[in-house]
A and B are shown apart, each in its own frame.
Chain A
Amino acid sequence: MTNLNMRLSCPMPKLDFDRITLGHGGGGTLTNQLLENGVFKLFKNDLLDTHHDGAIIDIQGPLAFTTDSFVVSPIFFPGGDIGDLAVNGTVNDLAMCGAQPKYLSLSFILEEGLLMEEFWDILLSIKNASEQAGVQIVTGDTKVVEHGKGDKIYINTTGVGSIYENAQISMDRVKEGDAVIVSDAIATHGISIMSVREGLEFESDIQSDTRPGIHLDEKMIPIEEQVKGACEMLGLDPLYVANEGILISIVDTEQAEEIVENLRTHSFCSRAAIIGKVVSEHPRQVVIRSGIGGRRVVNMMVGQQLPRIC
């Protein structure tokens, strides 16, 4: 289980049940017990403590507002769990809008039978991740569905953040000659989840959502050796494997080197690299120079990646 250190200082409260039951989502005493002894205690802050129907927040200036749902299976995987993913995913989306993440809502759909201990571990992960990101959880909801009608736990988080003063992150500003930067090695997240999973589902992250063309260089794209090996073995294209927490930015070429150097000082971005540039030759196409000097198109993925026969 995750969060061993955290658990030592933050033991699971006595909740009378080893498992989540339908009653924990019913709005009665069991729900109340779960909230009072668990959620409210753990995420304590002024806004949440009002126990109102919603949070009343006061932010000046332009806001970023986003939502995301998390249905990952298994819920615990190497390097994290569904809890920190639910916080980081929404926090990342706010950051990508040029915002300082401020507040999150937190909604659970729990499957009857979920181990209370697992739920507690996920709550601790959420607490950890939100503290690291400097966001407060200010409102939420808990529902329980019958056994067999969910997959242990689904989480939705909605976030608001205030836009940084000079932030202007927009596809409209992309111009010919700009550099394409990736913040760290790709595909690690997707492969780490797959390594402990029976069935397979994927999210697509690469999009050719641009007017000018983009030219990438395969050799420059950072990827861990073992991730590369897993992709080779499973017949997956690492460009299409999930990349939670990795960002692609398109920046003025004159500042590109400096940005990469700055990124590399951050522990999560040690392999940041310039991987390509914006070009006018092939409008709206992403073209990659293959390792041997050939060219191919990087198209949008259709549906999910399915492992091949041989």
Chain B
Amino acid sequence: MKFLTEYRDEALAQKYLHKINEIVTQSWNIMEVCGGQTHSLVKNGIIDLLPDQVNMIHGPGCPVCVTPIHIIDKAIYLAEEKDVILCSFGDMLRVPGSKRSLLDAKADGADIRILYSPLEAVSLAQANPDKEVVFFAVGFETTAPANALSVIQAHQMKVENYSILTSHVLVPPAIAAVMNDEESKIDAFLAAGHVCTIMGISEYGPLVDAFKIPIVVTGFEPIDLLQGIFMVVTQLENGQVSLENQYSRVVRTDGNQKAVKMIEEVFEIQNRVWRGIGEIPLSGYEVRSKYQNYDANKRFDVNITSAEENSDCIAGQVLKGIKKPIECPQFGKKCKPEFPLGAPMVSSEGACAAYYHFHQASAVLEPAT
């Protein structure tokens, strides 16, 4: 398949591994920000093919994982309202709230629909004028344009029974938060290619300067990741600190301005609480007051502002790269995809799920039957 096969080429992968092996002289901790990259690294077996000195640390770039528990509780509450259809991307459904998940609520009869695009939710609202359709708008900068577009479209078409429940977070403040954490041991970052496709790369230069760390904007295919790692290790070994773009076939320096304009039209940047991490200043999008009729937080009077986390879950430390999933005492024991303690075990971008499902040394065998 064009643009795919060539980025999964075994000979090329071996070549990059060889080159990384040749130049590396000491241990480096490299954080891949995005959970999609984590999954690609584990699923393709890259973390075990890299030399021991290259330690990949998995970052907070899993939108499902960092959505605060009280917002999930809120989504469940709304879904169980009589006249509400709650729409969500699929991998939000298994994430545990304080008591239940959306999947549990669905099984109990709540009208919850799995969609691929928020625009489908707008159509659903048009088709069901007697219902309130709420889209659970979760994600990083990558999904923000489509969510913004759904609000713009609903506004233009005068669809008045549509709203979004946002949990939108931003990558650059998260990188700063990771670097500001006293326990952080990160030497360099692979930035998330998809996010930069929308936003461009200009936000990352100041981070490189402020924290004196190399950042390489990187894609998601095995060859992308290996090339990104090679570029980062080259900088580290040469004592360089700069911003580079490995994913230049997709990411333009100024991103996708049309998409950015849509985001700016609908959203404004505000402080955000990240599940497991806490509040990060100016790290998320909220719906502007101009569009408050489409903001589920304003539209529905639901007073759920906090909820208890399971104290056995170390998701926060995993998300900040302080601990690896297998260092959690509950990994594969009390915490499994069937009964997760935290979101990273069930999200398709969660680091715990990646290790649980794909990593041979970490995979947990079910008892013999």
Interface residues in chain A, defined as those with a beta carbon under 8 Å from any beta carbon in chain B: 199-200, 211, 225, 228-229, 232, 234-235, 282, 284-285, 287, 289-297, 299-300, 302-303, 305-310
How far is A235 from B142 in the complex, measured between Cα atoms in Å? 15
How far is A297 from B356 in the complex, measured between Cα atoms in Å? 9
How far is A292 from B48 in the complex, measured between Cα atoms in Å? 12
Residues of B within 8 A of A235 (CB): 348
Residues of A within 8 A of B338 (CB): 302-303
Residues of B within 8 A of A302 (CB): 336-338
Count chain B residues whose beta carbon lies closer than 8 angstroms to a beta carbon of A: 50
Residues of B within 8 A of A199 (CB): 113-114
Residues of B within 8 A of A285 (CB): 360, 363, 365
Evaluate contact between B116 and A294: CB separation under 8 angstroms.
no
* Contact digits for B45-73, partner A, Cβ 8 Å, 1 yes 0 no: 11011000000000000011000000000
Which B126-149 residues have C-beta < 8 A from chain A? Answer: 138-140, 142-143
Evaluate contact between A293 and B10: CB separation under 8 angstroms.
yes
How far is A228 from B5 in the complex, measured between Cα atoms in Å? 11
The answer to whether A287 and B94 touch (CB under 8 A), given A199-B114, A293-B14, is no
Residue B183 lies at the interface, judged by CB distance under 8 Å to chain A: no
25 sampled A-B residue pairs with Cβ under 8 A: A211-B368, A225-B1, A232-B1, A232-B4, A285-B365, A289-B45, A290-B44, A292-B8, A292-B9, A292-B13, A292-B46, A294-B48, A296-B45, A297-B363, A299-B356, A302-B337, A303-B337, A306-B91, A306-B94, A306-B114, A307-B116, A308-B89, A308-B347, A309-B92, A309-B138
Residue of B nearest to A201 (CB): B114
The answer to whether A282 and B360 touch (CB under 8 A), given A291-B10, A306-B90, A310-B140, is yes
Residue B286 lies at the interface, judged by CB distance under 8 Å to chain A: no
Residue B43 lies at the interface, judged by CB distance under 8 Å to chain A: yes
Residues of B within 8 A of A232 (CB): 1, 4
Residue B349 lies at the interface, judged by CB distance under 8 Å to chain A: yes
Sample of 17 further A-B pairs with CB below 8 A, known A285-B365, A310-B63: A225-B1, A232-B1, A287-B360, A292-B13, A292-B44, A292-B223, A294-B44, A295-B48, A305-B90, A306-B93, A307-B90, A307-B91, A308-B89, A308-B90, A309-B143, A310-B139, A310-B194
How far is A284 from B358 in the complex, measured between Cα atoms in Å? 15
Residues of A within 8 A of B14 (CB): 292-293
Residue of B nearest to A226 (CB): B1
Residues of A within 8 A of B349 (CB): 308-309
How far is A217 from B139 in the complex, measured between Cα atoms in Å? 34
How far is A200 from B93 in the complex, measured between Cα atoms in Å? 13
Residues of B within 8 A of A228 (CB): 1
- Which of A199, A211, A299, A300 is packed against the most chain B CB atoms within 10 Å? A299
How far is A232 from B221 in the complex, measured between Cα atoms in Å? 11
Q: Shortest CB–CB separation between residue B223 and chain A, in angstroms?
A: 8
Evaluate contact between B365 and A296: CB separation under 8 angstroms.
no
Residues of B within 8 A of A308 (CB): 89-91, 347-349
Residue B342 lies at the interface, judged by CB distance under 8 Å to chain A: no
* Contact digits for B1-36, partner A, Cβ 8 Å, 1 yes 0 no: 100100011100110000000000000000000001
* Contact digits for B82-119, partner A, Cβ 8 Å, 1 yes 0 no: 00000001111110000000010000000001101000
- Contact for A310 among B36, B48, B93, B368, CB less than 8 A: B36
Q: Shortest CB–CB separation between residue A279 and chain B, in angstroms?
A: 13
Residue B252 lies at the interface, judged by CB distance under 8 Å to chain A: no
Evaluate contact between A294 and B49: CB separation under 8 angstroms.
yes
Q: Shortest CB–CB separation between residue B197 and chain A, in angstroms?
A: 10
How far is A295 from B49 in the complex, measured between Cα atoms in Å? 9
Evaluate contact between A309 and B139: CB separation under 8 angstroms.
yes
Residue B366 lies at the interface, judged by CB distance under 8 Å to chain A: yes
- Contact for A307 among B13, B42, B114, CB less than 8 A: B114
Evaluate contact between A284 and B45: CB separation under 8 angstroms.
no
Q: Shortest CB–CB separation between residue A165 and chain B, in angstroms?
A: 31
- Which of A295, A300, A305 is packed against the most chain B CB atoms within 10 Å? A295
Evaluate contact between A234 and B116: CB separation under 8 angstroms.
yes
How far is A308 from B9 in the complex, measured between Cα atoms in Å? 25
Give the 9 A-B CB pairs with smallest separation, nearest first: A294-B45, A306-B90, A292-B13, A308-B348, A302-B337, A307-B90, A296-B358, A297-B363, A309-B89
Residues of A within 8 A of B89 (CB): 307-309
Residue B214 lies at the interface, judged by CB distance under 8 Å to chain A: no
How far is A305 from B349 in the complex, measured between Cα atoms in Å? 13
Which B321-342 residues have C-beta < 8 A from chain A? Answer: 336-338
Residues of B within 8 A of A303 (CB): 94, 103, 337-338
Residues of B within 8 A of A290 (CB): 43-45, 222
Evaluate contact between B139 and A291: CB separation under 8 angstroms.
no
Q: Shortest CB–CB separation between residue A107 and chain B, in angstroms?
A: 26
Q: Shortest CB–CB separation between residue A282 and chain B, in angstroms?
A: 7
Residues of B within 8 A of A305 (CB): 90
Residue B185 lies at the interface, judged by CB distance under 8 Å to chain A: no
How far is A297 from B139 in the complex, measured between Cα atoms in Å? 28
Residue of A nearest to B124 (CB): A198
How far is A306 from B103 in the complex, measured between Cα atoms in Å? 11
How far is A290 from B44 in the complex, measured between Cα atoms in Å? 5
Residue B288 lies at the interface, judged by CB distance under 8 Å to chain A: no
How far is A160 from B80 in the complex, measured between Cα atoms in Å? 45
How far is A195 from B349 in the complex, measured between Cα atoms in Å? 24
Evaluate contact between B360 and A291: CB separation under 8 angstroms.
no
Q: Shortest CB–CB separation between residue A276 and chain B, in angstroms?
A: 15
How far is A310 from B39 in the complex, measured between Cα atoms in Å? 13
- Which of A234, A289, A294 is packed against the most chain B CB atoms within 10 Å? A294
Q: Shortest CB–CB separation between residue B46 and chain A, in angstroms?
A: 6
Evaluate contact between B44 and A284: CB separation under 8 angstroms.
no
Residue of B nearest to A233 (CB): B116
Residues of A within 8 A of B347 (CB): 308
How far is A169 from B24 in the complex, measured between Cα atoms in Å? 52
Q: Shortest CB–CB separation between residue B19 and chain A, in angstroms?
A: 14
